[in-house]
Structure 1
Amino acid sequence: MNVAGKTVLLTGGSAGIGREIARQLKAKGAEVILTGRDPDRLAAMAAEGFETLSADLSNAAGVDALVAALEDRPVDILINNAGLGVAHDVRGGLPDPDAADGCFYANLSAPVRLTTALLPRLRARPQAAIINVTSGLAIAPNTASSVYCASKAGLRSFTMSLRAQLKGEPIRVIEALPPVVDTQMTADRDMSKMPPQECARQIIAALEQGRDEANVGMVKLLRAVYSLSPALARKVMIRF
């Protein structure tokens, strides 16, 4: 797909991977409407020339408010990038169930609800795309981030089913699976991290090249291991 001239709705576009996706798509000639929750970050992106919408996607009302704010705007590309990370580990006490609920909604329910609401607009376009940003942890979970892993695995399953449902329609459904990327969510992790600029580049390349998956960075290796031995991939990842 040639993104020039396309209208993109990008959730979670004011920081991290989303911010870099927005900048790179804009540089290629796309019109990007991005969402976020932090007023200062949204203001900074507006200063760069982006159209911004404040949106809290951790609940149904927030998703519906975003759809209403779009009014009747056409959308060619929907990128479900916004997400929440939450620690959920019973070894150190009982985790907060409300935090788990918020994570599940932001990472899984919101993309499903937003995709459903915008599907008529996408179907009305001659060529459209939906990109759902999951994670390498959607393939094989780690130990400490059980809820996050489960939410992303759920989004992965939804994406694969949606792709089959839309087969034959001019809407490409793409799953983007990043590795550990240097963002606010991973700031406390002392490990090698991919720059968000490179992660964004690889996701956009998958869109431009018409691929169904963007296996970014080390996720390519994880996918290869999983294809040979799912048990081995799970054994390796669960230790992290």
Structure 2
Amino acid sequence: MKTGLFIAIFACAGLCACEKPVTDKYEQGSSDSFVVQYWTFDRLEAVAVGPEPRLQLYLRSSPEHRRTYYGVLSDGEELKRAYEAKCTEHGDRGYPFVFTYGPGPNMVPNSFPDKDFRSIEVVSDTDFDEVHPAGTRLDDVMMFCSASPWRFIRSRYVEQGEWNAGVPAEVYRYFGTVLPYDTEWKSCYHPVYGKVSELTTDDLTLLGGDDGGRRMGMIGVLTFLARPDRAATHTLTVTLTSVDGERYSACAAVALE
């Protein structure tokens, strides 16, 4: 399985009231880790887009959940300890990083959701074909596309991502474009793509790094590798299971022909 995700200097993340305030000009910060900031979430959202149906997956915060950001810019000791623990968990130490953040909120680079995942499941409420009647998993006929710096971090910041002609168009469309001044960072992210049924925990670690707000919490895209036996509207239920056993589900209606 190939894995990856590109790094852009200005990745959307944002600062809550407990974070160091960001002024109307760019400022500089520094860290000893690749990941500068983590953020919390409590729900999954699936959005169907395009004439060739695909599902964009987003990690969101419900009105009852106050999203918390914690990282190298945090002022509170509890938030700093939480950030240090996540860096230790990922073995993310020894990467001198001087970064620019701002202006305004949600402009902190290398910001990621604070949970990794071990599996994705996709189920339809409608018959897909003889092998996939209603209620059965479609994991073997769907592909997940994303990118992640996990292999780069795990290799002690040595193993670079390969963005070649073999990378699916959906990976490039959402995760493979960078601003000119960010080109040097692209190699830190590895493309992630493959059948949902073949994904591993390594493929689903450190998803969702943002690039200045363009993706707004999107961690990946699901596409179809096959077509159903007949045209119908399918309500798909997507479930993400985190490494600590938490399950996040979302539904979306998709018209398939």
Give the strand-richer structure, 1 or 2.
Answer: 2
Q: Which has the higher contact order (CA 8 A, sep 6+)?
A: 2
Q: TM-score, normalising length from structure 1?
A: 0.25
Larger radius of gyration between Structure 1 and Structure 2: 2
Give the helix-richer structure, 1 or 2.
Answer: 1
